[in-house]
Amino acid sequence: MEKVKLNNGIEMPILGYGVYQVTPEECERCVSDAISVGYRSIDTAQAYHNEEGVGNAISKCGVPREELFITTKVWISNAGYDKAKASIDESLRKLQSDYVDLLLIHQPFGDYYGTYRAMEEAYKAGKIRAIGVSNFYPDRFVDLAEFCEITPAVNQVETHVFNQQAKLQEVMKEYGTRIMSWGPFAEGRNDFFTNSTLQEIGKEYGKSVAQVALRYLIQRDIIVIPKSTHKERMAENFNVFDFTLSPEDMSAIASLDNAETLFFSHYDPEMVKWLINYGK
């Protein structure tokens, strides 16, 4: 497993397992399967309603806690210093752990400055090993990064071959902040799994479209957290460290970038309203 060093010096696996849209009922089994395959980084969130499943899996898996890297996120309904502070302790309880390795602000809405202060406090208290943000576009990212005490270690954003976040990555390099990809397979949109460029490159290496796409992001130093509920697919996604894409292949995949979201925009007022009301 390749690791990246975050801006506070701690190391994080560049490949992890994400549990977005994994039901609470399935989550414990899926995380247990992922750990048995070899994953050591698990990404969850308060809004996924499956932190308990992650906690059950990591408490039963037999792998020492210090060998695991657990990420969770504070949702909008818990925004603000007091609510965020309480929600961090609640997440720790559900995860059955004294600490989380990475805590992110899930969305840049509500009193996220208050949320970040609570996270900075928890970081200093040893409850969190690294803090960061999620879904922060360059403008909001810079605004927060310039006015906080602890620079975000990670920004988790939609990142895949059709929306490669090249501009954001350049902005974040100034702050030593890593991109963490959600949706590395674009959730199959834009005919992702039948893309001819990815298929042809995959044939060169005896790899699948998914493996090529993950490898591309990894070679750009982007953290990836592919999700699957099938153990054989988890293993396939994990098997991306035995080949290296050539500069020509990297260039061909770079040309697929449309630099546009395939999901939602934070500049859309109706979408912002929907996110703010989600889970209320």
- Catalytic residue positions, numbered: 48
Q: Which long-range contacts link 251-258 to residues 24+ away (Cβ below 8 Å)?
A: 252/197, 252/201, 253/161, 253/197, 253/198, 253/201, 253/212, 253/213, 253/216, 254/164, 255/197, 256/161, 256/162, 256/164, 256/195, 256/197, 256/198, 257/161, 257/162, 257/163, 257/164, 257/166, 258/162, 258/163
- The tokens describing 150, both together, are 């602890």
Instruction: Tell me the sheet residues that pair with 5.
Output: 11
Query: Does 106 count as an annotated binding residue?
Result: yes
From CA 129, how far away is CA 145, in angstroms rounded? 18
Binding residues for substrate: 106
